[in-house]
Amino acid sequence: MKNIFFAVNRCLGAVAAILLSVWCFNVSAATTTVPINSLSMTVGQSQINFPGNMKAIIEKRDNGVTRITIGVEDKVQRAELLIQADIPSWDGQNPKYIQTQTDSLMFMLKHENGSVFIIPSIQFAKDSGKKYVQRVRKAGKATNFSKASPDWVRMSKSERLATGRGIIRNQGMEGSSFFVMIQPVVENGHVKKITGTFSGVASMGQNRFQKGEFVNIMDGQFNIEVRQNAIIK
């Protein structure tokens, strides 16, 4: 009976993720109303707020990737929150929509009501540059051996998803999704603050390694100054 309940629960979570992806654009386009350096959201039946203590960092990394980190360690609430995204080829001027289905995006929440941890359920393997020996045999000719890169290196993301090649599946994240719309506020060519909205669906347990019931993350919004050399604590 327990196994049946778990299977049904997982299915409901997957359905919720599909439904959420349909209307997430409307949620993500909402205007933020929280004060500066604050974040609010509804997780399941609970309203969670981090007022005035949020931090945001924007870093330029290798290969033209921009890393955005939003987080806080709230000792009063005994809570922690972290949103982190690696965005390739972002100009830092225009709004950016990202989601776990296609992007490198993470959400982590530790709260007295439970813990939520979301990363992409499917990740794209990176080309290490290593070549493998392959055997080439043609009719009427001797077998030749040569070194070549994996065939998925030349595939697009959609082709890799369709063929299942060059991807890494995280079964523990099946049914989970997370969506973020980031709006930079630029002054003198620099991002002074970021505002945005977010939503998602995930399993909520006593800790990040324990599975629980699927809950919706709704009405998420943030309004945070970007700090140089900040530490998320």
Instruction: Report the pLDDT value the prediction gives residue 138, as an integer from 0 to 100.
Output: 65
Residue ranges in the chain modelled with pLDDT below 70: 1-30, 128-129, 131-146, 208-210, 228-233
pLDDT digits (tens, 9 = 90+) for 176-186: 999 999 999 99
**Burial bucket for residue 45 (CB in 10 Å: 0-12, 13-18, 19+):** exposed
Q: Do 180 and 99 form a contact (C-beta atoms < 8 A)?
A: yes
Instruction: Record the pTM.
Output: 0.73
Q: Do 35 and 52 form a contact (C-beta atoms < 8 A)?
A: yes
Instruction: Report the pLDDT value the prediction gives residue 167, as an integer from 0 to 100.
Output: 72
Instruction: Report the pLDDT value the prediction gives residue 136, as an integer from 0 to 100.
Output: 64
